[in-house]
Structure 1
Amino acid sequence: MNGYGGDQIRAAERPHLDAGEPLMQRAADGLARIVGDLLDDPAVRPGDGPGSVLLLVGSGDNGGDALFAGARLAADGRRVTVLRVGSRVHAAGLAAALDAGARLVDDPSGAPGQARPAADVLAAVARWGDRGPAAVATDAALDADLVLDGILGIGVRGAAALRSPAREVVAAVRQLARDQRAPFVVAVDVPSGIDVDTGAIADDHVLQADVTVTFGGVKAGLLRGPGATLAGRIELVDVGIGADLQAVEPLVRT
């Protein structure tokens, strides 16, 4: 399995994006298919019914991937809830998810797609109520069969420490894992907070994934460093850049 750097992935994607190819839609379709299969796997979810998914959604395209996948899952009858943990949200992805029947856990970040100054973000976080983001996340995660980690993707350089409220949300789900009450966790492209090239982490506020669904090419950080132990099983979704990646030397060969 070859592992590619974030810059290599972005360079491979660029001509396809410039040509108008729907790479995000392909990624979301593949992600939704894999999550649907997991929800139907008795080893993952032994209960009856369609299953439920909690989306942890950050500000960037990683959150957009999660939201468009959530829209497909909701359209298939899955119960989908969205917990926004960034200063803004992918507007089209959120609209698609809500139109398909997903629901918002709360409203910490204001209008869809709207960037907000830091002071406004802190004020918005206060509207989580007296219970705070950790308690809200705990209840939402306990009510879900599967959690999608769509907080940070390859757009972040280096090992990124999560900021509030994402930090508190991840800490809450990690505590459920220690208590053996955590739902199944799927990372969107990479576990949020790892360096996509080296697998390094800034601190221990990274959500351990049972499965990482990665797009286009396997990221090098999923194969080395702490990232290799946090990624779980790796599933690769073909978005149409495989031939482009074959022309470059990967950062990791295994």
Structure 2
Amino acid sequence: MDGYGGDQIRAAERPHLDAGEPLMQRAAAGLAEHVGRLLDDPAERPGDGRGSVLLLVGSGDNGGDALFAGAGLASDGRHVEILRVGSRIHEAGLRAALDAGAVLLSDGGDPAATASDAALRADLVLDAILGIGVRGASALRSPAREVVQAIRELARDQRAPFVVAVDVPSGIDVDTGAIADDHVLQADVTVTFGGVKAGLLRGPGATLAGRIELVDVGIGEDLARAEPLIRP
């Protein structure tokens, strides 16, 4: 599969965003569809079949994608919990998720403990902390850093949740796949939007992304006019 740079993806998105096309809603709908299939297939992921999902939500549009997907999942009867790990949150996405029945968790002053407990309850965790808006490999900041570390520690005890990365695993360089440090969640599946990011195909990102699933949001023709950073 071809791999594109973050700037190429953003350039392909721009005319559609300027025209008012609902790219985030398309991405969220595709994400919810993939997550729903994973929850319904016990061969794909561990869990007790309740369809419980934990959203790790950062400040940017990546978090908005997850929140709108969470709204769709909650409307379908899934149990959705939201843990805010950024300085801001996508307000429209949060309203949609809460109106659909999702639950916003209070960290009680200890986001790592909250994340660990919630991850143990969940069949699946959505990593929506950082997306392609961050340039270069980015070390996670508190409280996201402590939250990711807490979930990574579950893996050491063989209690790792099934992780779906939203667009890219948070913290990787979307062009090179480089990472700033080891505070990155290993994804079982990465659901990426519009075009496959080059950083999912090379460097540490290639080993952190798991299986890659592509959601068509309507920018394929625009990307086809760009020269990919990576060709098969």
TM-score for both structures, normalised by structure 1: 0.89
The 1-side partners of 2:114 and 2:82 are apart by 12
**What's the RMSD between the two structures over aligned residues?**
0.9
Counterpart residue number, 1:18: 18
Counterpart residue number, 2:170: 192
1:47 Cα shift?
Answer: 2.6
Counterpart residue number, 1:93: 93
Q: Does 1:209 align with 2:195?
A: no
1:178 Cα shift?
Answer: 1.5
1:134 Cα shift?
Answer: 1.3
Q: Does 1:145 align with 2:146?
A: no
Which runs of no fewer than 5 residues in structure 2 stay unpaired?
none
Counterpart residue number, 2:213: 235
Counterpart residue number, 1:174: 152
Which of 215, 218, 240 is the aligned partner of 2:196?
218
Please give the per-residue CA displacement for 1:44-82, whole angstroms capped at 9, x wherever unaligned: 145344x10000000000000000000000000000000
Counterpart residue number, 2:48: 47
Please give the per-residue CA displacement for 1:103-126, whole angstroms capped at 9, x wherever unaligned: 0111x6xxxxxxxxxxxxxxxxxx
The 1-side partners of 2:18 and 2:147 are apart by 36
Larger Rg: 1
The 1-side partners of 2:73 and 2:46 are apart by 16
Counterpart residue number, 2:58: 58
Counterpart residue number, 1:122: none
1:2 Cα shift?
Answer: 0.2
The 1-side partners of 2:66 and 2:174 are apart by 18
How is 1:117-136 mapped onto 2 (pairs within 5 angstroms)? 128-129=108-109, 132-136=110-114
Give the letter aligned to residue 237 of structure 1: V
The 2-side partners of 1:100 and 1:228 are apart by 35
Give the letter aligned to residue 238 of structure 1: D
The 2-side partners of 1:2 and 1:45 are apart by 31
The 2-side partners of 1:214 and 1:178 are apart by 27
1:161 Cα shift?
Answer: 0.2
The 2-side partners of 1:83 and 1:46 are apart by 20
Counterpart residue number, 1:34: 34
1:177 Cα shift?
Answer: 1.2
Give the letter aligned to residue 125 of structure 2: V
Report sequence identity in percent.
Answer: 83
Aligned residue pairs total 231
After TM superposition, where is structure 1 displaced by more than 2 Å over at least 4 residues in a row? 45-49
Query: Residue 126 of structure 2: SS of its match in structure 1?
Result: strand
Which runs of no fewer than 5 residues in structure 1 stay unpaired?
109-127
1:37 Cα shift?
Answer: 0.2
Which of 136, 161, 167 is the aligned partner of 1:158?
136
Give the letter aligned to residue 71 of structure 1: A
1:182 Cα shift?
Answer: 1.4
1:95 Cα shift?
Answer: 0.3
